[in-house]
Structure 1
Amino acid sequence: MLLSRKTYISLLLALLVLNLGIFVGKLNLKVNEIIEREKCPACFGINLCQDIDDNKVTLEYTDFYSIFNNLLGIKNIYYGKYGGDKVIIKKLAQKIELEGFDKMICSDYELMELCFNKPKAVNTMKNFYNLIVAELISADMNDPNVKIRLCPTISKLPELFSNVLTENNLKNADYYKYLWSLIQINPEPILLQILSSNDNWPTPKYFGACGRIVIVEYIGLPLSAFIQETWIERAIIASSLLDAAYAFTFKNPKFAFYLTDISMDNIAVNNEQRAIFVDLENTIIVDKYPSDEVLKEKTAWNVTYTNQVYTDCKDCFIFSPTDICNHKISDHNYYAICQNILVQGLHTNFDNQGLLHNIPSTILQEYPQLTYLLNQCSKPDKFQSRIESGNQLKKVLDTII
């Protein structure tokens, strides 16, 4: 049946009003409306709940990124303000993932005490610290769904979690439930506390949580937004990336941290042109000094592991968690930075241009070793060290900038 022009216009106006109403509702969205506090203790924590109740945390609509994300809820990430700080408000997972988590805990009697609509008679009183340990011990190193891997042993877990298991945090009887929930959904807040920006790690400041949101420092635009900046500006950022590769591998004398989801969109650049890693969801943590009993099975433990580059898969980030876990040191972080950021822009829309594309001829004339070191850090020759090439590359970049 054909619609009259008047009816057609009426329908268009109705749709316009509907969409306007939706957007106005979004513009008036309060942080309290997205936190799902009722899901606690199957949540991420409660230390920021009072500040949220006092309206100290607000959503902001001051630029394209904040408007776009806050109205559409892309990736369940929102832009806001906490006091005087610009912040990112993260739900840490998509709606379907959170619903799956709720379904899992509400259908397992052993976990029923976490279920937000559990029967009143349920009182299983599980030891969630033991559940955390069991989860980390049983993790399949090669399962892509496992987001935090500790290897080759988790015997130093209390030491690793020293910034997390603080006396103040443990005053809350539900704290281990929060940690277990994070490990199930997204362990990034745990990593942000282990690799605290207060200790000069290249990570955003972690403010805390309330219900099923966490609040972290807003750093700046993603690295992909800088791909067409001047070469010197890109070289400054590249130097900080190589700093980060060294820090994650060597800074902590007892543990090495290997980030397994490094891309230009998971790195932001701050006002000092320093690269900051804003997505730590997927990480392998290697205990550098396991017991002698564990080392009996690690015949190549003290040999630095070199990640292979698969030339038949140009836009791939391929690595072996098992091989990384079988060596005290791996060049994984240098491989990720040099191959997938500096040489080729993994998952970017710029014809796979790496951050250091189009080196000016004047710079190459003065520093002819630059291209060689970049290539060796990306795809080292058989007897070359990717780590050593990366460290030398940083020295050259620092001389140039």
Structure 2
Amino acid sequence: MLRMVPLKLGRVYRCVKLLAVVALLVVLLMNTHSLLASFQKNELTDRRFVSLNKCPACFGTSWCRKFMNGQVSFEAWGRLRFLDVFNVKNVYFAQYGEPREGTRRVVLKRLGSNQELADIDQKICKRATGRARCDLIQGVYKTEFARLNGEVRLLTPEVVEGWSDLVHCPSQRLLDRVVRRYAETKDSGSFLLKNLKDTEKMQLLMTLAFNPEPLVLQSFPSDEGWPFAKYLGACGRVVAVNYVGEELWSFYNAPWEKRVDLARQLMDIAEQLTNNDFDFALYLLDVSFDNFAVGPRDGKVIVVDAENVLVADKRLIKQNRPENFDVWYESRFEECDKEACLSFSKEALCSRVTVDHNYYAVCQNLLSRYATWRGTTGGLLHDPPAHISRDGQLEALLDECTNPRKRYGRFQAAKELRDYLTQLGASSASLATAR
């Protein structure tokens, strides 16, 4: 009797094993197409891969010829489709070749996860038909985007206000700038919306509504000194931007002198986006280590994710004079146990001339002891040399810039912090020269 038990258990085990194998085969047979697809290569010449088949519900077509001609090719890992599961942000590195310029590295971005892009399709369909699914191409022509076609002369604030962060509080001056610098048209340079083709208008409006990052890069280009990656072009729902360098996080444990230089540049970016000769304040609403990159040659810090940038027209604020428009606005510090937390009021950013938001965002999320990223705290300026720690000035300035103890303390602390970091950088350079 005792010998029968192991025998029965062995038979049961074999039966379960057989059933498991059969079940696996059934699953594989049912998903043969998906399985085979996962081992296929990503191809920029594939219209469906770049979502060119969804235009004009896309970001543009200016680089399609380069894609189709093979001038742009994925680097090794980008070609392997089964690795896309790890590429949540849909960001690819590629090589772009020009006969006269040679080959250079570029970044290809879908500007959203697969789910976020699917949500765009659903939103278009719901706007067009009230249903979550529809013929996308027909549907987009039944949305408010299409109603702006025809002989509409200008893109006006009343039409697009609140569509995205870029146009949360738009001015006519900003919208004219966006249309005039729109790079997905051959007839750029005019602020008249009616000068664009119908498909170009649809692309511009869809980009403005769902992910305005390409328009931020076009309207405030790196060629004019703005601290953003250079926009190159688009094909379908894939946009190409210039490769900047490694993300800022890669420098978290860099030598102290390097981190001081990067911190000073970050504060300079905060100042430039807040106060500039154009009287546009560009407020960074999403500030984290992976939204900045550092050039390998010049060491320059650049913003590489510009989706969540709110643009306020200071000239319009001064002209309209909303309540308390000339009262300095202080961002409110709030401790948070999550990564890259920020507290802000979009209404205040849109209605005040003097705002400390960018200083607050850089100090809290990147530089100070409150900065938390990938399970690490301490910020970019962690573990300063002993003589700087003893002095205490750096810690005091970072604390005041993050969580000010006195009224308007952050404004003064940000200015003093920039000066202090510049002095530290100069001292480091002098020591290096003396050696």
For normalisation by structure 1, the TM-score amounts to 0.82
- The residue aligned with 2:417 is 393
Counterpart residue number, 1:41: 56
**1:62-119, CA deviations, whole angstroms, 9 ceiling, x for partnerless residues?**
79x999965743222222112222111111122233233223334545999x954539
Cα deviation for residue 311 of structure 1 reads 3.4
Distance in 1 separating the partners of 2:82 and 2:263 = 28
Q: Is the 8 A contact 1:44 1:212 kept in 2?
A: yes
1:253-272 alignment to 2 at 5 Å? 253-271=278-296, 272=298
Alpha-carbon spacing, 1:257–1:68, altered in 2? closer, same or farther (3 Å): farther
Q: Residue 303 of structure 1: which of 306, 327, 343 is its match?
A: 327
Q: Is the 8 A contact 2:106 2:240 kept in 1?
A: yes
Report if aligned partners of 1:88, 1:215 keep a CA contact under 8 Å in 2. yes
Moved more, 378-387 or 122-131: 122-131
Shift in Å, 1:353: 2.1
Q: Within 5 Å, which residues of 2 pair with 1:64-79?
A: 72-79=86-93
1:147: how far off?
Answer: 3.3
Distance 2:410 2:367 in 1: 14
In structure 2, runs of 5+ residues without a counterpart are 1-14, 98-102, 189-194, 426-435
- The reply on whether 1:164 has 2:190 as its aligned counterpart is no
Contact 1:43 1:182 in 2 (8 A): yes
Instruction: Count residues in correspondence.
Output: 382
Structure 1: which amino acid aligns with 2:320?
V
Contact 2:245–2:295 (8 Å) recurs in 1: yes
Matches within 5 A, 1:19-38: 24-25=39-40, 28-33=41-46, 34-38=49-53
Q: How far has the Cα of 1:218 moved from its partner?
A: 1.8
Structure with higher RCO (Cα < 8 A, 6+ apart): 1
Give SS of 2:201's match: helix
Unaligned runs of 5+ in 1: 141-145
Q: Give yes or no for contact 2:289–2:366 (8 Å, CA) kept in 1.
A: yes
Equivalent residues of 2:96, 2:104 under 8 A apart: yes
Name the structure 2 match of 1:238: 263
- Higher alpha-carbon deviation: 368-377 or 80-89: 368-377
Q: Does the CA-based 8 Å contact 1:38-1:116 persist in structure 2?
A: no
**Partners of 1:393 and 1:248 in 2: how far apart?**
17
Determine what percentage of the aligned residue pairs are the same residue: 29
Per-residue Cα deviation, 1:122-157 (whole angstroms, up to 9, x for no partner): 8995225677744532x28xxxxx433443x52323
Within 1, Cα distance between the matches of 2:171 and 2:67? 36
Relative to structure 1, is the Cα distance of residues 122 and 244 closer, same or farther in structure 2, using a 3 angstrom cutoff? closer
Displacement of 1:314:
6.9
Q: In structure 2, do the counterparts of structure 1 residues 349 and 122 end up closer, same or farther at CA, with 3 Å as the change threshold?
A: closer
Structure 2 contact 295–301 (Cα < 8 Å) conserved:
yes
Query: Cα RMSD between the aligned structures?
Result: 3.6
Structure 1 position 396, deviation (Å): 1.7
> Hey, what does 1:357 align to over in structure 2?
382
- Provide the C-alpha distance between the structure 2 equivalents of 1:186 and 1:49, rounded to a whole number of angstroms: 20
Q: How does 1:203-352 map to 2 (within 5 A)?
A: 203-271=228-296, 272-290=298-316, 294-295=320-321, 298-311=322-335, 315=339, 316-344=341-369, 346-352=371-377
- Tell me, yes or no, if the aligned pair for 1:268 and 1:278 is still in contact at 8 Å: yes
Considering only CA atoms, is the larger Rg found in Structure 1 or Structure 2?
A: 2
Shift of 1:216: 0.8
The 2-side partners of 1:361 and 1:24 are apart by 54
Q: Distance in 1 between matches of 2:353 and 2:318?
A: 13
Q: Which amino acid aligns with 1:104?
A: K
What are the within-5 Å matches in structure 2 for residues 70-149 of structure 1? 72-83=86-97, 84-109=103-128, 116-118=136-138, 126-128=147-149, 133-137=157-161, 139=162, 146-149=164-167
**TM-score, scaled to structure 2:** 0.76
In 2 relative to 1, CA 290–260 (structure 1 residues): closer, same or farther, beyond 3 Å? same
